[in-house]
Homo-oligomer: A and B are copies of this chain.
Amino acid sequence: MTLFLNILELFGTVAFALSGAMVGIQKRLDLFGVVFLGIVTAVGGGVLRDLMIGVTPPRCFQDPVYLLVACAAALLFFLPFIRRPLARHEKTFELFLFTTDSLGLAVFTVSGVQAGYASSPSFNPILLVFIGMLTGTGGGVLRDILADETPYIFQKHVYATASLAGAVLFVIFHRLNANWYGSWLVSIGAVFLIRCLASHYKWNLPKATE
């Protein structure tokens, strides 16, 4: 099961690294900028979480596997002969990115809450939910701040809300002493499902009317 989770986290890391690299390419940054944005997007949420709960240096530097994976993914994506064939089949590529990005959001949200439980049993539910959302969405927020854009989470339909739902679900399951494997799968599935439904049916949260 740990292996299964590690594979999920690797998947999420690659997805987030690609989303960061893509923003860098759209902004016409150079090689360093593209790779840097990829790494920040992939590990930024975990770094912010670790700073909040007092884990220093952040875990991704203590065991830099994910950081190196993110670096490699962004580097490969930078190469034209790798990026172009993907970009040619635009529909397939968009679907691929949506899927991996949503899975990344789902996995990191739940693994963030899990890291909170592992850090201290005394954390209250609000802190745990916040930590989960920060882990899931923090990397993307850092990416958008560094790229000088209004953060994506403020614009994209039901992104942070999906993360919120998954974190709340996982905390509830934990309270109920539910089966650990089942809690993971249902929470991750919920985030993913909400993202899919929101994207397909163009769900949006209400905006303030004048």
A interface with B by C-beta (< 8 Å):
24-25, 27-34, 36, 47, 51-54, 56-58, 61-62, 64, 67-68, 78, 80, 83, 123-124, 126-127, 130-131, 141, 145-151, 153-155, 160-161, 204-209
Contact = CB atoms under 8 A, between A and B. Distances in A.
Given A25-B208, A146-B151, A53 B57 contact: yes
B149 A148 contact: yes
A207 B26 CA distance: 11
A25 B31 CA distance: 31
Nearest to A128: B61
Contacts of A147: 150
Given A52-B57, A53-B57, A56-B54, A205 B31 contact: yes
B126 A67 contact: yes
Contacts of A124: 61-62, 64
Given A57-B127, A124-B64, A206 B30 contact: yes
A30 B47 CA distance: 27
A148 B147 CA distance: 10
A148 B146 contact: no
A156 B50 CA distance: 31
A19 to B, nearest CB: 15
